[in-house]
A and B are shown apart, each in its own frame.
Chain A
Amino acid sequence: MWARRKISVVESQPGQWCGTAIILVTVMSACAFLLSDSALPLLALANLPMLIQGSRLGSLKGILVVFALQLLMTSLFYLLLYGWQSLPQAALVVFRLLLALIPGWWLSARFAPEQLGSSLARVLPSKWAFVLAATLSLLPHIQREAMEIYRLQCLRGAPITKRALRNPKNWLELGPCLLFPLLIELMKLSRQQALAAKSRHFGTHPKPTHWQAPEDL
Chain B
Amino acid sequence: MTPLLSLDSIDCAHKDGEPALLSGISLSLHAGECHCISGATGAGKSTLLLLAAGLGGVLCQGQICVQSGVTRALVLQDPHTQLLRRTIGAEVAFSLENLGIEPSQMPVKVRRALQRVGLDLPFGTQVATLSLGQKYRLMIAAQLVSEPGVLMLDEPWAQLDDEGVRSLTALLMKLKAEGMALLLVEHHADAFAELIDHYWTLKAGRLTASEIATQAEPQPCFIPSTAFFQSPNAEVRLTSPGFTLQHSQGEALFESPALEVNAGELVLLCGTNGCGKSSLLSMLAGCGDATGLPVSVMGKTPELGTFGYNLCYLMQRPNRQLFEMTVEAELSYSLKRYGLPQERGARVMNSLQIAGLAQHSPHRLSYGQQHLIALASLVCLEPKVFLLDDPFAGLDSVHSQLVVNLLQQLRARGCTLIIATHRPMALAQSQTWHIRNQRLEVEYVGQT
Residues of A within 8 A of B (CB): 1-2, 4-12, 114, 130, 133-134, 137, 140-141, 145, 148-149, 151-159, 161, 163-164, 176-177, 180-181, 184-185, 189, 192-193, 195-214, 217
A209 with B97, Cβ < 8 A, contacts A6-B129, A10-B86, A145-B320 known: yes
CB distance from A142 to the nearest CB of B (A): 11
Q: In the complex, what distance in Å separates the CA atom of A209 from the CA atom of B106?
A: 10
A211 with B90, Cβ < 8 A, contacts A181-B323, A193-B81 known: yes
Question: Do B126 and A148 have beta carbons less than 8 Å apart?
Answer: no
Instruction: A1-B274, A114-B86, A181-B322 are known; give 9 further A-B pairs, CB within 8 A.
Output: A4-B131, A7-B126, A10-B126, A151-B282, A181-B320, A192-B78, A211-B96, A214-B107, A217-B103
Question: Do A193 and B99 have beta carbons less than 8 Å apart?
Answer: no
Question: Do B96 and A209 have beta carbons less than 8 Å apart?
Answer: yes
A180 with B143, Cβ < 8 A, contacts A10-B87, A198-B55, A200-B95 known: no
Q: In the complex, what distance in Å separates the CA atom of A205 from the CA atom of B86?
A: 23
Q: Is B311's beta carbon under 8 Å from chain A?
A: yes
Q: In the complex, what distance in Å separates the CA atom of A34 from the CA atom of B142?
A: 50
**Interface CB pairs A-B, < 8 A, 19:** A1-B133, A2-B134, A5-B131, A8-B129, A10-B86, A130-B84, A151-B304, A152-B313, A152-B315, A154-B304, A154-B305, A181-B320, A192-B78, A196-B81, A196-B84, A200-B95, A200-B98, A201-B99, A209-B101
Q: Is B80's beta carbon under 8 Å from chain A?
A: yes
A201 with B338, Cβ < 8 A, contacts A8-B125, A213-B89 known: no
Residue of A114, A148, A197, A213 most packed against chain B (CB within 10 A): A213
Q: In the complex, what distance in Å separates the CA atom of A207 from the CA atom of B87?
A: 23
CB distance from B180 to the nearest CB of A (A): 16
List chain B residues, Cβ under 8 A from A212: 103, 106
The closest CB in chain A to the CB of B103 belongs to A212
Listed stretches B116-124, B228-236, B440-448; interface member = B116-124
Q: In the complex, what distance in Å separates the CA atom of A15 from the CA atom of B132?
A: 30
CB distance from A140 to the nearest CB of B (A): 8
Q: In the complex, what distance in Å separates the CA atom of A164 from the CA atom of B337?
A: 13
Residue of B98, B143, B324 most packed against chain A (CB within 10 A): B98
A156 with B123, Cβ < 8 A, contacts A5-B129, A196-B84 known: no
Question: Do B163 and A1 have beta carbons less than 8 Å apart?
Answer: yes
List chain B residues, Cβ under 8 A from A201: 95, 98-99, 146
Q: Is B14's beta carbon under 8 Å from chain A?
A: no
| CB < 8 Å neighbour of B124 from A197, A208, A213 | A213
Interface string of B303-333 (1 = CB under 8 A from A): 0110011011101001011111000000001
List chain A residues, Cβ under 8 A from B86: 10, 114, 137
Q: In the complex, what distance in Å separates the CA atom of A16 from the CA atom of B441?
A: 52
List chain A residues, Cβ under 8 A from B74: 195, 199
The closest CB in chain A to the CB of B118 belongs to A2
The closest CB in chain A to the CB of B127 belongs to A137
Q: In the complex, what distance in Å separates the CA atom of A149 from the CA atom of B125?
A: 30
Q: In the complex, what distance in Å separates the CA atom of A206 from the CA atom of B311?
A: 55
Q: In the complex, what distance in Å separates the CA atom of A200 from the CA atom of B375?
A: 36
List chain B residues, Cβ under 8 A from A2: 131, 134
Question: Do B97 and A161 have beta carbons less than 8 Å apart?
Answer: no
Q: In the complex, what distance in Å separates the CA atom of A137 from the CA atom of B127?
A: 11
CB distance from A187 to the nearest CB of B (A): 10
